[in-house]
């Protein structure tokens, strides 16, 4: 089922597939609900899955003016309530930052949380000095991306993000044109996200009060600041969090190994919450 919801003053596009306990998938920056296209049908065998385009992305409305991650959190809260709270939430990258922020503010809405590589650099900015060179290199690369976007060259900014931040040199040319078009179209929202002074921060003390189970993952091929970030989040959550390294994966495990991602997520939800038929498997 595809539909639009009037949420917090704007229209959001969403789709629901499957049946069972509610599960919301939250995408990262630049992309849209299609990033879950390989895992949503697998997870729909056990759950009622909602995917959506976050505000400013693809089919959802793009509001004027400076936005904030808190608005994304409020949007997610409204969609969870639409689907049926509390819900399981799985999220990637900036979407994971959004889900974690909501878990800190409104923990009653989330039955469980799975977060992959949230770019919450604020939680490690004053930490391990060994990370400083890597963080500084990443910040320089992001500055180049943002400079292109501020100059109005969205396609150049998207290319720099792919080649300098996410995949590496030549990555842009390897992408099908439809993916490049999506990244370019959503580029202004990436600039807007980085205009929020709190985009990379999280209140760890409030997160520590989240009572549900959490799965925090990083890819073995990802930059070193992600394990450091996830480690700080795991410490805040204590024994309720499982931290896992996905061997052979990077920042997009739901695209590179969708069967494994879906199977691991469903297994985590079933084992931690007793959700879904024991014999069911999305793989």
Q: What is the pLDDT of residues 178-198, one digit of tens each?
A: 999 999 999 999 999 999 999
Distance CA 111, CA 107 (A): 8
Residue 11, H or E segment: strand 10-18
Collapsing DSSP to helix, strand or coil, 216 comes out as: strand
What DSSP line would sit under 106-144, residue for residue? -GGGEEEEEEE----GGGTTTS-GGGHHHHHHHHHHHHH
Domain covering 2-127+197-273, topology: Rossmann fold (3.40.50)
Would you kindly state where each structural domain of the chain is located, as residue ranges? 2-127+197-273, 129-194
Across 16-20, 72-76, 137-141, 276-280, least confident range: 276-280
pTM of the entire predicted model? 0.94
Count CB atoms within 10 A of the CB of residue 198: 13
With b for 16 or more beta-carbon neighbours within 10 A and e for fewer, the 200-212 pattern comes to: bbbebeebeebeb
The pLDDT tens digits for 121-153 are 999 877 667 788 888 888 999 999 999 999 999
């Amino acid at each position: 089922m595809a539909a639009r919801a009037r949420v917090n003053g704007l229209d959001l596009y969403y789709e629901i597939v499957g049946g069972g306990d509610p599960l919301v998938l939250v995408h990262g920056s630049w992309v849209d609900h299609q990033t879950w296209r390989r895992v949503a049908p697998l997870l729909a065998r056990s759950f009622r899955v909602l995917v959506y385009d976050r505000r400013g992305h693809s089919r959802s409305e793009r509001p004027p003016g400076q936005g904030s991650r808190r608005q994304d959190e409020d949007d997610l809260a409204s969609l969870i309530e639409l689907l049926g709270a509390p819900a399981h939430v799985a999220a990637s990258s900036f979407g994971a930052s959004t889900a974690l922020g909501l878990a800190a503010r409104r923990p009653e809405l989330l039955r469980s949380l799975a977060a992959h590589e949230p770019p919450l650099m604020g939680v490690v900015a004053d930490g391990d000095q060994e990370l400083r060179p890597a963080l500084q290199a990443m910040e320089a690369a992001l500055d180049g991306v943002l400079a292109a976007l501020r100059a109005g060259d969205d396609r150049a900014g998207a290319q720099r993000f792919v080649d300098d931040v996410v995949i590496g040199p030549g990555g842009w040319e390897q992408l099908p044109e439809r993916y490049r078009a999506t990244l370019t179209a959503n580029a202004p929202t990436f600039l807007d996200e980085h205009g929020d002074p709190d985009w990379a921060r999280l209140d760890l003390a409030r997160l520590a009060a989240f009572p549900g189970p959490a799965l925090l993952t990083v890819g073995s091929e990802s930059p070193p600041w992600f394990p450091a970030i996830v480690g700080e989040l795991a410490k805040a959550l204590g024994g309720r969090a499982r931290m896992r390294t996905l061997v052979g994966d990077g920042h997009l495990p739901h695209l590179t190994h969708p069967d494994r991602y879906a199977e691991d997520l469903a297994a985590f939800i079933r084992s931690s919450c007793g959700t879904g038929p024991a014999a069911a498997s999305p793989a």
